[in-house]
Structure 1
Amino acid sequence: MRAVLSRLLPLVLLVLLMAAGPAPAQSRAWWLGGVVGSGAASAQTDPAPAPAETGIDYRAWATFAGQTERMISDPTTVSDRLESLRGELAAWRERFLQAQSANKPRIDTLREQIAALGPAPAEGSTEPPELAERRAELNTQLAAAQAPAIAAEEAYRRADGLIHEADSILRARDASKLVRRDPAPVNPANWTMAAAALSGFATDLWADLSASWADPARRSSLVQAAPLLLGELLIAALLLWQGRRWIDRVIQRLQDRLPTGWWGVVELPLSLTQVILPVAALLFLTSALEQTGFLGPLAESIATDGVMTAGLVISVMLWIGWHVFPADERLTQVVVLPAPRRAEGRLHVTLAAMAMGAEALLAPAFTAGAYGVAAVSTVNYPVTALIGLLLFRLGQLLRQSAAIENDGQETPGFRPLILTILGKAAMAIGIVGPILGAIGYIALADAMVRPALSTLGLLAVVALLQRLIYDIYAVVTRGDPRLARDALIPVLISFALVLAAIPVLALLWGVRSADLWEYWTRFREGFRLGDTRISPTDFVMLGVIFGIGYGVTRLMQGALRTTILPKTSLDTGGKNAIVAGVGYVGIVLAALAAITSTGLDLSNLAIVAGALSVGIGFGLQNIVSNFVSGIILLIERPVAEGDWIEVGGIQGIVRGISVRSTKVETFDRTTVIVPNADLISGQVTNWTGFNLNGRLIVPVGVAYGTDTRKVERILREIAEAQPLVVLNPPPAVPFVGFGADSLNFEIRAILRDINFMLSVRSEINHQIAARFAEEGIEIPFAQRDLWIRNPEALTGRAAERPAAALPPEPSSVANPLRDDETLREEPGVSDHAPGYGREDERD
C-alpha cells in the first residue's frame, strides 16, 4: 500500500500544480526534477523507453520447452502425459500472444516521429547532423521498445510448433485405436471368455461387498443410515417410475387452463423436472452411500459414477424421446408422424435408453484393463448391435416424416431434405456399425454407432429449443406459432442455436476438446496485415463503432427531417438532398472511424488498391458512373423527389433518389428503376421541377361551313372560364388549318398547375360538347363507304347460273357500278373482302 501511495502522490501533486496555473519555467523544472526524480529528461533529448513489464520468465520457459521437446521425441511417452504437456504449452502460448502487443503505443509514437524526419538519405548522400543524430536516437529507442514483442513472437512460434507436434502424435494414436482389430465378439470362442469375465466381475463385486459387511465399523454405519437410505431409494424409484406421469398430469392441468399458444411455453420448461427430480434423488442416494463409508472401491465406483451416469442418460433420453414423438396431439411435433409411428418411436428410444444406461452403469468397474479387451468387447457388443438396430428403425421413421411433409409439393423443402439425409445416415450407420463390430473393429463401431445416436439426440434438443423460441415469440407478439417460423428474430436465434451446437457435435464425434480450443485460439489470433495484427476482437470493435456512428447518423437525419429543416424555407427536394447528403457523409465518417479503431494502416493497402483500381475501374465503370451521377443529382438537383419527369419514354413521379438509381412511379402505379447516369447524360423533361405552370393544347374540329369567328369566340370563353387557366398571357384560339374532314382549331392555355392538366382538358371537352350542341355547331366525323364490284358473289346469284353462261370479265377494265351494287358499311362488317372490292373514304 505504501508503494502504491508513493507512486500516486507525485502524480496528484503534478495535477494540482497544473490546475493552479502557469508557473515560472525555473520553478516548474525544479519541481519536476525534485518530485518525479531523475527520470525526467532535458528539453533537447527524449529518454529511452523502458521495456514493458510482460511478467514472463523466459529462462523458465526455455527450460520447460527443452524438457517438452525431449518428451515429445520419446515414443514411450504416454498420451495422458502428452495431453498435460500440451495444456501447459497452450498456457505459455497464450501469455506470449498477449505480450506481443507490449509497448505498442510507444512504438507507434516512435514510428511517427521517425516518419516526421522524412525519408532516410539514399546511399552516398548525407543529411544535416542534427537530423542524423535524432534519427539514430529514435531508431535506438524503437529497437529497444520492440525487443519484448520480438522475444514474445519468437517464444510464441516455438510453443505453437511444440503444440502442433503433440497434436500430430495424439491424432495418430487415436487413428490407430480406431483401426485396431480386436477379437471378434461373434466368435463363439470368445463367449466363454466373456462369461468368465462377467462371472469374475460378479465375484469381485460380491467379495467387495462382503469385505465391507465384515468390517464392524462399516456395517454399523450402514445400519445407522439404513432408514435414510431406504427412504431415498424409495423416492428415487418412485420418481424414476412414476415421476413422468405425475409431471405430465400437472402439465395437462395447466394446459387446460391456459390459451392454446401457451401450451408449448409451459410444457417444455416444466417437463425438465422429469430429468431434474430423478437425477437429484439419485445424487442424494449416492452421496449418502458414499458418506457411510460402507462401499469398497469396486462398489463405490459403480454407485457414484455408474449410477449417476446411468440415471442421467436414461432420464435425458426418455425426455427427448417423449418430446420428439409426443403422445399429446396438442403439442407441436418435431417430426410429423401418425400416432402409431410416434408410439413406435417412443418404444425405440426407451430401449436405447435402457441399453445405454446399463452400459454406463457397468462401465466404471467392468474395464478392459481389469478383465481383458476381448471379454469387454464381447459383452458390450450386444449393446452396440441393439443401438444399431434402433438407429435403423429411427432412420426409417425420419424418412417417413420427410415423405409426409413433402406430400403434395413439387420440390422438397429444406426441413424434409434434412430429415431425409439424417434418416439415410442413421440407417447406413445402423447397418455398417454392427457389421464392423462383429468382425472385430469394436472401437470403430463404437465411434460410429454411439455418436450417431447422440447426434440425433442433440439435434432433437436443438429442434425442441427452436420450437420453444417460436412459441415464446408467438406469445409475445400475440401471433400464430406457425407464422413465427417466418419471422426474422426467432429465425436468427434458431440459427445461433445451430451454430452453438456445432462444437458439441464435434465433441460427440471424437474431436478432442484441445483441438477445438486450438481452432478457437487460431481464430482469436487473427492474421497479420503488414505490421498490424487483425483479430476477431478488432472486427467486433469495428462493427460496434460503425454501428454507433451509423446510429448517430440516423439520429441526425431524423432531427434534420423532423425538427430543423421544416423550419426553413427550402423546398422538399432540397430538404431530401440535405438529409441524404448527411447520411452519406455520416456513413463514410463512421467507416473511417471504425477502420482507424482497429489500428489498420491503410497505407499498406495503397499498392494493392492502385493495382486493383484499374481492373475495378473497367469492371465497375457503370456503377461508378451511376454513383457519381447520384451525387450530382443531390447537389445540382435537376430532379427532386415529387417531380413529374419524362425520361426515355417513361413518365412518372420521382419517389426516391439513391446513389445508384432513381425510383420513378408511373401513372400506372408501377415503379421503374432508372440509372442515375440516364438522368445526367440523357434528355429529361421535368414538368414540375422548376415551375408548376404548363401549357395545355386542346385540338377541336368543326364541320365545313361553320362560322369560324363564332367558333373562336366560344372556345375562348370556355378557356377563360377555367379556374386553373392563367389570364396573363390570355388563352389563344388559333385557326390552325383545313383538315380532310374539318376546320381545325386549338385551345392553347397556360395552367397554374400542370398536374391538373388531364382534369382541365376533360372539363374543357365537356363544355365544348355542350356549347356546340346549344349553338348548332356540328363536329364532323369520318365516314367510310365500301364499293363491291360483284355483289352477286356475296348474295349467291352467281351459283344459280351455269358457269359457261357467265360472260368473260376483262382483266384490266372494271365492270360499271350500279346503284344496287353500293353497300353501306355496317358495324361489325369487315371492310377487307379480299378479291371483291376496294376501300374509299369520303365525308
Structure 2
Amino acid sequence: MTVLLRSCLVLLFLTMAGALSPGLHAQAPAAPGTASEAAAPPAPVVDEQTAAWLAFATRTEELIADPTTRSERLENLRSELATWRQTFLEAQTGNALRITTLREQIAALGEAPAEPAAEPAEIAARRAELDEQLSRAQAPGIAAEEAYRRADGLIREADTILRQRQASELVARGPAPANPASWAPAAGVFGKWVTDLWAETERSWANPARRKAVMNAAPVLAIELLIAIAMMWQGRRLIQRGISRLQARVRPVWWGVIELPLSLAQVALPVIAVAVLISAFQRTGFGGMQIRAIADAAVPATFVFALTTWIAGHIFPAREHLATILPLAPERRREGRILVTLFALAGAAETLFSAALSPERYGDYAQLLLYPFTLLSGLLLFRIGQLLRLALTEAPDSQEVSGFSATVVNLLSRAAMVIGIAGPLAGAAGFMTLAQSTVRPAMVTLGVLALVTLTQRLIYDLYALVTRADAKLARDALFPVLVSSLLVIAAVPLLALVWGLRPAELTEYWSTFQDGFKLGDARISPMDFIFFVIIFGLGYGVTRLMQGALKTSILPKTSLDTGSKNAIVSGLGYVGIVLAALAAITSTGLDLSSLAIVAGALSVGIGFGLQNIVQNFISGVILLIERPVAEGDWVEVGGVQGIVRGISIRSTRVETFDRNSVIVPNASLISGQVTNFTAFNKTGRVIVPISVSYDSDSRKVQKILQEIAEAQPMVVLTPPPSVLFLGFGADGLNFEIRAILRDVNFSSSVRTEINHQIHARLQAEGVAIPFAQRNAHLPLPRILPEPPAPPAGAAPAPFTR
C-alpha cells in the first residue's frame, strides 16, 4: 500500500458525509410506485478508496476461506490488512476535537425536556442543528471503527490459519533417515541436484555473452576470492595480533571498553569480503537458479560462521589473563572453541544446502540430505551442555558461579543436553522439521545469550570508566544492572523469532501494545504514558529547582523562623507536584470526566482502607500550616523526648538525645498531647535540688545558693532565680534552685555547672552534704561446747570458719 493511498484514506475518513453512517454497504431501494419511495433516504455515496477497501476485504475473505491458499499468499494479504487497519485506527480520532466542541455546545443548552413542546422554538432548533452536526462529525469515526473491526477480524483469522499450518508442519513425519529404504531415494535427489547444477553451469558457459563477462571479470574475481580466503582464515589472527599490540599502549581502564567493539572487525571483514565477491560474480549473470540460490546464501552463511567463531573466542578465550565468563580450565576452553567452530561450519553448510535443496523442487527427500548437519549439531550441542555443567562443578572457589547466574547456567546446560539428544532422535524417526526447529534454535539461543552477556560486561566496564569506580563495585551498582535488565528484555523478541514466532505475529503484538487501551472516551497508548512521564518529570524537576532556589536564595534573606521556612518550601513542593500532574494529564489529552463516578466510588472504598494514611496526610498538612511543631523543636510525645528532625507527609521523625530516631505518626501530634519546650521561645526553667546536713545554717545555705544561681551567664535576672527551702528530709535539709534560662537547650550543661559550684562553695563554707548511713546489727554467737583436747603430740587442727 503506497503512502499516497494511505493519505487518501485518512482524508476520506476525516471528511465522509453523514450518509455513510448506516454502514459501508448500500441499502436495497424500495419498490417503485410505493409511497415509501419518496421518503427513502438517498443511497450512500461510496468513493473509490472505500470501494477499493470493500473489494479487497471481500477478496481476502474468499482467499482465507479457501484451504488451498498458500501460506505466502496469506502472509502478503495479512500485511496489506495491517496497513488498512492502521489507517482506520488513525481515522477514528480524526474529528475528536470537533466532536468535543459540539458536545460542549449541546451541554450548554441544558438537558432536553421530556416534552419537546416545553422547550422554546429557537433553542429546540439550535439543539436539532447541533445534533445533526454531531452525527455528521461522528460518522467518519463510526465508519472507520467498523472497517477497523473487519480488518482486525480478518487478521486474526489469517493468523489462526497460519499457526495451525505451522503446528501441522512441525509434527509432520517424512522419510526417516534411520530407515535404509530412504537412502536410495535421497541419493537420487542428491544426484539430480548435482546434475541440475552441472547443467546450469554448462548452459551459462555455452552462452557467449555470459562466458565473455566471466572471462573479463576473472582477474578481479580471482583477486577478490584470494582476499576473501585470506580474510576468512588469516584475518582473525591479524586483527587479534593488532588488538594485542594496542593493549600494551592503552590504559587498563579503557581496555574493557574498546576491546569488544574493535574485535567485531573479525566479523565484519570476512562478511564484507564475501559480499563484494558475490556481488562481482552476480554482475556477470553467470549461472541459473541453483547457482543464484547458493550465491544469495553465501553472505548469510559467512556471517553465521564469523559471528559464531567470534562469540567462541570471547566466551572461551585462548589467552590466560583474559577475564572469562565461564570459569573453565584452559583445556576446557580450548575444547569449547573447537566445538563452537565445528557448529559454525555445520550451520554455514546447512544454510547453503538449505537454499539449494528446496523441498518444493526436490520433494521430501531433500530434507533427509540435511540430517547429517542436524545430527552433528545435536551432538555438539550435547557436549556444549556438558561444558556448561562443568563450569558449575569444576569452578575454583574464587570464580564459583552462584545465585541466579548458577540457576540460569544449570537450566541451559540441562536443556542443551536434552535437546542435543532428543532433536537428532526425532529427525532419525522422520520428524525432520521438529528436529531442525529445536536443535538450531537451541544453539542460536545460546549465542544470543552469549551476546547479551558480552554486552552486559561492556556496560559494566563503561560505567566503571565513567564513574571511575572499581569493576566489582560497577557490577553491583544499580544503573548498569537496570540497563542490563532492559537489554535482556529487548532480547526476548529476538528469541521468540528464533523459536518460530512469525514476524507478522511479533508485529501484531507490538501494534497491540502501541494501540494501548481505552480509558473512558480516551485511548491510552505507551507513547501517551511516556509523554505523561516526561511532562510530569519536567514539572517535578522545575518544582525541585524552585524549592532549592527558595530555600537557599530567598528565604535566608527574610526574618522568618526555621519552621516557617520549611513549611513554605514543603507547601511549594506539594503545589508543584499537583500542578505537574495536572499539566501532564492535560497535555496527553486524557478526558477522565466519564470516570468521575467510578473514581468517586473507588475513592470512598480506598478512603476506608487507607483511613489512617489519609489521616496522617491531613495531619501533616495541618502541621505545616499551623506549625505547632516545627523542625528543630524540643518535644515530648508519648513519653519520648527529642528534637524534631523532619516532618513528612505521613510521619514526623524525632531524634532522641540518645541519637535514636523515633517515627511518630502525624495524627498523634495533632490529636494527642505534645509538650513543646521550644515552640515560641527558647527560654525554659531549670530545677536543681540540694540537701545539707541538719547542723547547717539554713539562711546561710540559701544565700550561697542564691549567689551561685545569679552568677550563671545563661540565667536571666528578670524574673530572678529563686532558692526554696522545701523542708526536712530523712537525711538533711532540702533546698531547690529554680532559674529561667535564656536557652533551655543548655539546661543540662547549666545544671552540671551549678552542681560543681555548689559542691565547691559548700566545702569552702564548711557546710556538709548529708549522705545515708546504715548500721549493721549482727546477732550474738551461740555458746558452743569446748572442743575435745587434741591428743598429746598431735598438731593443732586447722582453723576453719
Same fold judged by TM-score > 0.5?
yes
Q: Aligned to 2:305, which of 303, 309, 314?
A: 314
In structure 2, C-alpha distance between the alignment counterparts of 1:261 and 1:402, rounded to whole Å: 29
Does residue 642 in structure 1 map to residue 632 in structure 2?
yes
Map residues 259-338 of structure 1 onto 2, 5 A cutoff: 259-302=251-294, 304-338=295-329
Partner of 1:253 in structure 2? 245
Once the two structures are superposed, residues 763-785 of structure 1 have per-residue CA deviations (whole angstroms, 9 ceiling, x without a partner) of 11222222222222222222344
Shift in alpha-carbon separation, 1:655–1:409, aligned structure 2, 3 A: farther
Q: Tell me which of 160, 163, 173 is aligned to 1:168.
A: 160
Amino acid at match of 2:576: G
Shift of 1:511: 0.6
Distance 2:139 2:611 in 1: 48
SS at match of 1:709: helix
2:394 aligned with 1:432: no
Structure 1 residue 382: Cα displacement: 2.2
C-alpha RMSD over aligned residues:
2.5
Q: Residues 126 and 786 (structure 1 numbering): CA distance in 2 closer, same or farther, change over 3 Å?
A: farther
> In 2 relative to 1, CA 584–409 (structure 1 residues): closer, same or farther, beyond 3 Å?
farther
Gap change, CA 1:709 and 1:125, over 3 Å in 2: farther
User: Which among 700, 711, 725 is matched to residue 715 of structure 2?
Assistant: 725
Structure 1 residue 529 displacement after superposition: 2.5
Matched, 1:341 2:332: yes
Partners of 1:784 and 1:274 lie apart in 2 by: 97
Task: Select which of 192, 195, 198 maps to 1:200.
Answer: 192
> 2: CA distance between counterparts of 1:177 and 1:767?
102
Answer whether contact 2:762 2:768 (CA < 8 A) is retained: yes
Distance 1:232 1:179 in 2: 44
Q: Cα distance 1:196–1:631, how it changes in 2: closer, same or farther (>3 A)?
A: same
- Asked if 1:75 corresponds to 2:72, the answer is no
The equivalent position to 1:184 in structure 2, one of 170, 176, 179, is: 176
**Please, which moves more after superposition, 627-636 or 75-84?**
75-84
Structure 1 distance, partners of 2:184, 2:532, is 68
Instruction: Give the Å deviation of 1:454.
Output: 0.8
1:462 matched to 2:452: yes
Could you tell me how far 1:403 is from its partner in structure 2?
5.1
Deviates more, 1:592-601 or 1:445-454: 592-601
**Matches of 2:762 and 2:401, distance apart in 1:** 67
Pair 1:565-2:555 in alignment:
yes
Residue type matched to 1:452 in 2?
A: A
Matches within 5 A, 1:487-526: 487-526=477-516
Look up the SS of the partner of 1:143 in the other structure.
helix
CA–CA separation in structure 2 for the residues paired with 1:409 and 1:780: 72
Count of residues in Structure 1 that have an aligned counterpart in Structure 2: 745
1:261/1:481 contact within 8 Å kept: no
Paired residue secondary structure (1:257): coil
Structure 2: distance between partners of 1:98 and 1:387: 48
Q: Following TM superposition, by how much is the alpha carbon of 1:175 offset from its aligned partner in structure 2, in angstroms?
A: 0.7
Residue number among 55, 60, 72 corresponding to 1:63 in the alignment = 55
**Identity over the aligned pairs, expressed in percent?**
63
CA distance in 1, matches of 2:785, 2:549: 90
Kindly state the Cα deviation for residue 686 of structure 1 after the two structures are TM-superposed. Answer: 1.2
Cα shift at 1:518: 0.9
In the alignment, is the contact (CA less than 8 A) between 2:328 and 2:395 conserved in 1? no
Query: Matched residues in 1 for 2:237 and 2:780: separation?
Result: 100
Distance 1:791 1:659, change over 3 A: farther
One-letter code aligned to 1:227: P
Give the conservation status (yes or no) of the 8 Å contact 1:406–1:416: no
Q: CA deviation at 1:373?
A: 1.3
1:390 Cα offset (Å):
2.1
For 2:84, the aligned partner's letter is W
Q: Which amino acid aligns with 2:637?
A: V
Deviations 1:660-703 (A, max 9, x none): 11122222222222111111111111112211001111111222
Q: 1:598 maps to which residue?
A: 588
Q: Deviations over 1:645-664 (max 9, x none)?
A: 11112222211111111122
- CA deviation digits over 1:12-34, x for unaligned, max 9? xxxxxxxxxxxxxxxxxxxxxxx
- Kindly indicate whether the alpha-carbon contact (under 8 Å) linking 1:406 and 1:412 is maintained by their aligned counterparts in 2: no
- Sort the Cα spacing of 1:186 and 1:789 in 2 relative to 1 into closer, same or farther, 3 A: farther
In the TM superposition, what is the alpha-carbon distance from 1:273 to its structure 2 partner?
0.3
Separation (CA, whole Å) in 2 of partners of 1:478 and 1:56: 65
Alignment of 1:14-413 (within 5 A): 57-122=49-114, 126-302=118-294, 304-374=295-365, 376-402=366-392, 412-413=402-403
SS of the residue 1:747 aligns to: strand
Match of 2:727 in 1: 737
Q: In the superposition, relative to structure 1, how do residues 685 and 458 fare at CA in structure 2: closer, same or farther (>3 Å)?
A: same
2:604 aligned with 1:614, yes or no? Answer: yes
Deviation at 1:426, TM superposition (A): 1.9
In the alignment, which residue of structure 2 is the partner of 1:698? 688
Cα distance change on mapping 1:274 and 1:801 into 2, 3 Å? farther
How far, CA to CA, are the matches of 2:555 and 2:68 in structure 1? 80
SS of the counterpart of 1:688? coil
**Aligned residue identity for 1:632:** I
Residue 245 of structure 1, CA deviation: 1.3
Moved more, 490-499 or 401-410: 401-410
Question: Matched residues in 1 for 2:485 and 2:178: separation?
Answer: 44
> CA contact under 8 A between 1:264 and 1:332: conserved in structure 2?
no
Displacement after TM superposition at 1:110 (Å):
0.7
Deviating more after overlay: 410-419 vs 597-606: 410-419
Q: Which residues of structure 1 form unaligned runs of 5+?
A: 1-52, 803-843
Per-residue deviation, residues 79-118 of structure 1 (Å, max 9, x unmatched): 1111111111111111100101112111111111111111
Give secondary structure in 2 for the equivalent of 1:704.
coil
**2:27 corresponds to:** none
Output the amino acid matched with 2:336: G
Would the aligned equivalents of 1:54 and 1:102 in 2 still touch at CA under 8 Å? no
The 2-side partners of 1:54 and 1:490 are apart by 57
Pick which of 409-418 and 389-398 moved more. 409-418
Q: Distance in 1 between matches of 2:786 and 2:636?
A: 64
Tell me if the contact between 1:185 and 1:377 (Cα under 8 Å) persists in the aligned partners.
no
**Kindly tell me: are residues 99 and 698 of structure 1, through their superposed partners in 2, closer, same or farther at Cα, counting changes over 3 Å?**
same
* Residue type of the alignment partner of 1:126: A
Is the 2:725–2:734 contact (alpha carbons within 8 Å) kept by the matching residues of 1? yes
Q: Is the 8 A contact 1:391 1:427 kept in 2?
A: yes
- Pair 1:758 & 2:748 matched: yes
Q: Contact 1:406 / 1:413 at 8 angstroms: preserved in 2?
A: no
Q: Is the 8 A contact 1:647 1:684 kept in 2?
A: yes
- Structure 2 vs 1, CA of residues 714 and 397 (structure 1 numbering), >3 Å: closer, same or farther? farther
Offset at 1:178? 0.5
- Give the conservation status (yes or no) of the 8 Å contact 1:549–1:586: yes
Question: Residues 597 and 645 from structure 1, CA distance in 2 versus in 1: closer, same or farther, beyond 3 angstroms?
Answer: same
Q: 1:408 to 1:466 in 2, by over 3 A?
A: closer
Amino acid at match of 1:628: I
Q: What is the CA distance between 1:801 and its match in structure 2?
A: 7.3
Structure-2 change in CA distance of 1:519 and 1:640 (3 Å): same
Structure 1 distance, partners of 2:605, 2:393, is 50
> Which residue of structure 2 aligns with residue 28 of structure 1?
none
CA contact (8 A) 2:709 2:721 kept: yes
- d(CA) in 1 for partners of 2:289 and 2:726? 120
Counterparts of residues 514-553 of structure 1 (less than 5 Å) = 514-553=504-543
- Amino acid aligned to 2:311: I
CA–CA distance in 2 between the matches of 1:437 and 1:367?
A: 18
